[in-house]
Amino acid sequence: MSSEQRSSTGASSPAAPRPARLSAAAALCAAEGVVLAGFGAYLLLMGLLGDPSSPRQAEMGGLTLLALAALPLVAARGLLLRRRWSRGPAVITQLMAVPVAWTLVGTGGAVIAAGAALGAVAVTVLVLLVNPAATEALGIGPRGEP
């Protein structure tokens, strides 16, 4: 595969091993997507089968979470396949997660642990994705380079 073909697909050399940082970022993004999908499915089922105070709101919340779960899942797959485009959705997901984590921590009670875990995961993934080894594996170089 020529360097032009590699840069157009966004993948680095297939012979080079995937950096562990990139694999870790992909795993954490996938975990976020699975958790979002799980909460979305729960809300949807409770809206349809349960007895919430507002079934329509529970169903819409469930559908929204299921749709939002697609972003980190697609990003995780792209990171595993070393696609250049995958870094954007992964970073966007983490930037959306930070204020959610902050809100959960500020709420108090039992959700403090969930907020702290979400915040830790978001910051960890952001750090992993800006690492030079990860950016190089994704075919992202300094300005001026293709």
Read off the pLDDT of residues 73-115 as tens digits, 9 standing for 90 and up. 999 999 999 999 999 999 999 999 999 999 999 998 889 999 9
Q: Which residues contact 56 (CB under 8 A, 6 or more apart)?
A: 47
* 134 has pLDDT over 80: yes
Reduce the DSSP state of residue 110 to 3 states and report it: coil
State residue 15's pLDDT score: 60
| Token digits of residue 83 | 């696609």
The DSSP 8-state label assigned to residue 16 in this structure reads S
